[in-house]
Amino acid sequence: MSRPFPQVGVSISFDPDAARAARLAAMEAMEQAQLTEAAWACCFFTNTHLARAGAIRQGVLTETHCRVLCGTSAQGVQTLGAETETGPGVVVMVGGREISAAGGVLPSDGANLMGFFGTEPGSLLLLFPDLFRVNVEELLGTFAGGLGHTEIAGAGSGDGTPDSGLQLGLSGPRAGTVAALGLKGSFRAVVGVASGAQPVGEPRRVTQAEPGVLLTLDDQPALQVFMNTAEQLGMTNLDQALAELRVGFHLEEPPSPLATFQQENRCTPRPVTGLTAQQGLRVHLPPGAHATISFLRANPAWALEETRRMAQQMNEDLGGPPQLAFYFSSVGRGALLHGRRQADTTVLRNVWGDFPLAGLMGGLEISKGGVHNLTGVLAALRWLE
């Protein structure tokens, strides 16, 4: 029998008034947690409220009296029972003193992380960097030496467009920075990654490339190979191919331990962002990329099965269901992929039942294994027996 988890509450508000939404979500989260003063608070809000980020911060602080605040803007926000990808939304999670927390806003290079958190960030570190002003892969590389066994999860701030990312701390909204929250306590933390893209066709050798461009695959123009693959899948034009296919890079680095497709095959997806006059594909090559790629296609059935497999594996690693979780998923594996809302979180609820979950939806997800696209990254905590 596990000990009851410390006081935690989470709530979501769709009120179009940003300040009122923040107060309502924070108030309900505090009631759930049975707290009069929160030790820490985490807040996610949609870009509909971007201009009122300061009012959201003040609303959360007023209702929670928290000593640590971490938050970010996003395209969508979610809890276990509700979500929005397009409209106004604010999610607030609060916790009591049993979970020690440190958080706020770091500079774009993540400088002084250890000074910010103390000797080490704790069991779980959440990161929310500005996508357009922070090199996320360099940031993770900077942290690698000092993190030890700390698990990492997070997502890019904003909706994937310039100037859409704001990061929150006690001192107010910031841009071009990294919002961070480190949690310590008598709990086990596990992070899992679920892919939303299924491999199609045979792996291809990268026979010629430039920084940010694949020129030839198997000694053929990369665009030609890309379109041949698309036609074999019944796609009728370039726009459809660009929307549905990803380039999956096989990585030289060891994968994360959880058994999802991406880790088993050491393959991380990247979208094709443009074409060159030489029939090349513009695509961001991740660190550790090998000279082999596979094409991946967004697949709703595959995505849900990956989510279920991830949850079952995490259940084994945790020793039971989580008692607190954060979920960061790509908008590309939301309603756009499934034709309905809450597809992923419904799977999580079917596996585990109800538990406090706060999350966001955007265009880039983060784990200790690196940067992901078209995935769901779940950070789950379970109180030690």
Same domain, 372 and 350: yes
Domain boundary among 262, 297, 332: 297
pLDDT of the residue at 120: 57
Please name the amino acid found at residue 51. Answer: A
Are 101 and 207 found together in one domain?
Answer: no
Q: Which residues of the chain have pLDDT under 70?
A: 1-5, 112-122, 143-147, 251-267, 286-290
pTM of the full structure: 0.86
CA dihedral for 149, 176, 248, 378, sign (positive or negative): positive
Look at residue 63 in the predicted model and tell me its pLDDT: 98
SS3 call for 237: coil
Instruction: State residue 256's pLDDT score.
Output: 38
Locate all alpha helices (DSSP H) within the chain, ordered by sequence.
18-33, 53-64, 113-117, 136-147, 222-232, 238-244, 261-264, 300-318, 335-338, 343-352
Q: Domain ends where: 297, 324, 349?
A: 297
Q: Which of 80, 285, 310 is nearest to 196 (CA)?
A: 310
* Structure confidence at residue 287 (pLDDT): 60
| Cβ atoms < 10 Å from Cβ of 134 | 24
Nearest CA-CA partner of 74 in 48, 40, 52, 109: 48
* 177 in the same domain as 273: no
Contacts of residue 117, defined as CB under 8 A and 6 or more positions apart, other chains included, come to: 102, 125, 180, 182
Q: Tell whether 108 and 205 lie within a shared domain.
A: no
Contacts of 5 (CB under 8 A, 6+ apart): 187, 323, 324, 381, 382, 383
Among 297, 321, 338, residue at a domain's last position? 297
pLDDT at 258: 31
- Say whether both 214 and 332 belong to one domain: no
Nearby residues of 246 by Cβ (< 8 Å), 6 or more positions away? 197, 269, 270, 271, 272, 295, 296, 297, 298, 373, 374
- 184 with 209, same domain: the answer is no
Q: Under 8 Å CB-to-CB from 314, ≥6 apart: which residues?
A: 190, 192, 258, 322, 378, 380
Tokens of 310: 């991830």
Find out whether 13 and 25 touch, Cβ atoms under 8 Å: yes
Q: Could you list the residue range(s) of the whole structural domain that residue 244 is in? A: 198-297
DSSP helix/strand/coil, 86: coil
Residue 260 has what pLDDT? 34
Give how many domains the chain has, as a whole number.
2
DSSP run (H or E) holding 286: none
CA angle 37, 43, 45 (to 5 degrees): 145
Query: Quick check: is 69 in a domain?
Result: yes
